[in-house]
Amino acid sequence: MRTEFHSILLAKMKDVGEPRFNLAHERLFNIIIDADEILGAATSGERQLTSEEWSSLSTVCDELVRYTKIHFMEEEEFLISRGYPDSERHRVIHQNLIEALNSFQKKVTQCDEMNLKEMRRWLLEWLLNHINHEDYAYAAYFSTKE
């Protein structure tokens, strides 16, 4: 279930001017919330994850990586087709995020006893930061062209 904190974060997510991308962002955010709930259950009890929780987290994480790749590809194609001058830099930023997600996924697959609180923070931050800065930059650019 979404907490008030999750709703506050979602409300901070900027509109990027393309309805299908806004929907994709919300879908990604919802997947992250699923992961956050699993991590939250452990961090609030100051304990490690159980094996069932690791396995649920792994399923959620696979979906997050899968759908992030799809969204990034669609966004990159869109930016190139619309002649966005910063397309290449945006693609590289996406690539770096995929690498960070892949290493996160690897840790989850290995049930790495890492700092769960840090893991939670990173998960909640990367998407929102990207949308509100880099994605918002293309929205701002295109809005001046219309």
Q: Under the rule (CB under 5 A), what is the footprint of Fe ion?
A: 75, 135
Q: Which is nearer to Fe ion, 36 or 75 (CB)?
A: 75
Q: Which residues of 57-85 are buried (b: 16+ CB within 10 A; e: fewer)?
A: bbebbeebbeebeebbeebbebbeeeebe
CB of 25 to Fe ion, least distance (A): 6
CB of 42 to Fe ion, least distance (A): 29
CB of 130 to Fe ion, least distance (A): 6
Q: Which amino acid is at 78?
A: F
Q: Of 121, 78, 126, 118, nearest to 101 (Cα)?
A: 126
Q: Which is nearer to Fe ion, 36 or 135 (CB)?
A: 135
Q: Which is nearer to Fe ion, 41 or 73 (CB)?
A: 73
